[in-house]
Structure 1
Amino acid sequence: MAEIAVEIAYAGPEGQAVIPLAVPQGTTAWQAVELAMPKLPSGVRPDPARLGIFATKVPADRVLEEGDRVEIYRPLILDPMEARRRRAARGA
């Protein structure tokens, strides 16, 4: 079976990583993340519901294409609406 080149990307308080992988055609986004787990910074716990490809959220079962960069997103620490309210209250 032919392989395709993809990347897994993560950036967070644990560290940053861009992991190049060669995976079989038909590999899903989550399967690629599982393959990259040993190379991710210690403490990273990916969530299948928080994945994207080139800044577009995708389901974990999305089949990857040549050159895709799977991004692992972190949970939000603060709701964006609450952050706006706080900035408005400060006058910023």
Structure 2
Amino acid sequence: MSFTLLLTREATSGLSLLEKKPQLIGRLQRVRTALGRLQLNPDDPALRSHKYVSLAGKKGETVWDSYIENQTPTAGRIYWHYGPGLDRITVVSITPHG
């Protein structure tokens, strides 16, 4: 099942910052790849998605944490939750981890 991705203002802002910095083109490509994987299959092993206990969606939704990259000083993460609806995923934030 493929999902429609909805980005919050915070997620859109994080993506826009990457798009404005040519020196971060590699990271932007990794973010886009991760978003594509998330859209096609949130359980994709490359994403290493797991529940994130320190955050909840606006309506109490379980938020998940997925890897953009790993083992780098600013390894990126995508924070997201299912909904609204069965075929949508809301991307809450795109950020460096840690």
The TM-score, its normalising length taken from structure 2, stands at 0.27
TM-score, normalized by length of structure 1?
0.28
Greater gyration radius: 1
